[in-house]
Amino acid sequence: MQVFELKGEVRSDVGKKATKAVRNEEKVPCVLYGGESNVHFAVKERDLKKLLYTPNVYLVNLVLDGKSYDAVMRDIQFHPVSDKVLHIDFYQTFEDKPVVIEVPVKTTGHAAGVQAGGKLALITRKLKVKALPKAVPDEITLDVTSLGVGKAIKVQDIHIEGIDIVNAKSVVVAQVKLTRAARAAQSAQ
């Protein structure tokens, strides 16, 4: 799993006025949960762009006033009109405790059903996995070469050592659907 370093300043004042003052300085108020106590801090808005606007999943190394914490992002709040980041919640991770995090899904290969006139659809783009922080993969790669028309890969078909997939076992991840043109060609025969 990739590590993203983020520097911030611990804040002692919390509340509406203090939070508004932090946002006026082009900073984002944040909270770190899961450790001995909650830590309120602020980070520069421009430092978050590479962390937020990417399909990748990161383990965040927070450096707050000289102390370092390992964490993952749990929740982000955006402004409903301007889409500016209003608040971020981080969850502190430890090497010996498993963490639940969403990991992107990628497909490889050329599906046999696509050659027969079907269309490959990636239904679930992210899967929730539970694993130790160092064991979480950057992405889950599925080989779809043997997937025929009307066939699907479900969560129950995916097995990765050291990782538990939290999603329901019946959730479809990828499938080859029959297109209208292929259906019309089949009915014409």
For residue 111, what is the domain's CATH number? 2.170.120.20
Q: What confidence tier does 55 reach under pLDDT thresholds 50, 70, 90? A: confident
Determine contact, residues 109/122, Cβ cutoff 8 Å: no
9 and 28 assigned to the same domain? yes
52 and 31 assigned to the same domain? yes
140-143 sheet: strands from edge to edge: 140-143, 99-108, 126-131, 164-165
Domain stop point among 63, 93, 123: 93
Q: What confidence tier does 26 reach under pLDDT thresholds 50, 70, 90? A: very high
Domain stop point among 93, 111, 130: 93
Write out pLDDT tens, residues 111-170. Answer: 888 888 889 999 999 999 999 988 888 899 999 999 988 899 999 999 999 899 999 999
Domain stop point among 93, 108, 130: 93
Better-predicted residue by pLDDT, 18 or 179: 18
**For the chain, what is the HEC assignment?**
CEEEEEEEEECCCCCHHHHHHHHHCCEEEEEEECCCCCEEEEEEHHHHHHHHCCCCCEEEEEEECCEEEEEEEEEEEECCCCCCEEEEEEEECCCCCCEEEEEEEEEECCCHHHHCCEEEEECCCEEEEEECHHHCCCCEEEECCCCCCCCEEEHHHCCCCCCEECCCCCCEEEEEEECHHHHHHHHHC
147 φ, ψ to 5°? Answer: -80, 120
The pLDDT, as a whole number, for residue 165 is 94
**The domain containing residue 152 runs over which residues?**
100-188
Write out pLDDT tens, residues 31-44. Answer: 999 888 899 999 99
85 and 16 assigned to the same domain? yes
Determine contact, residues 43/10, Cβ cutoff 8 Å: no
The pLDDT, as a whole number, for residue 36 is 85
Write out pLDDT tens, residues 69-96. Answer: 999 999 999 999 998 999 999 999 999 9
pTM: 0.81
The pLDDT, as a whole number, for residue 172 is 94
Burial 164-181 (b: 16+ CB within 10 A, else e): ebebeeeeebbbbeeeee
115 and 148 assigned to the same domain? yes
122 and 147 assigned to the same domain? yes
113 and 85 assigned to the same domain? no
83 and 107 assigned to the same domain? no
22 and 77 assigned to the same domain? yes
What is the tally of structural domains in the chain? Answer: 2
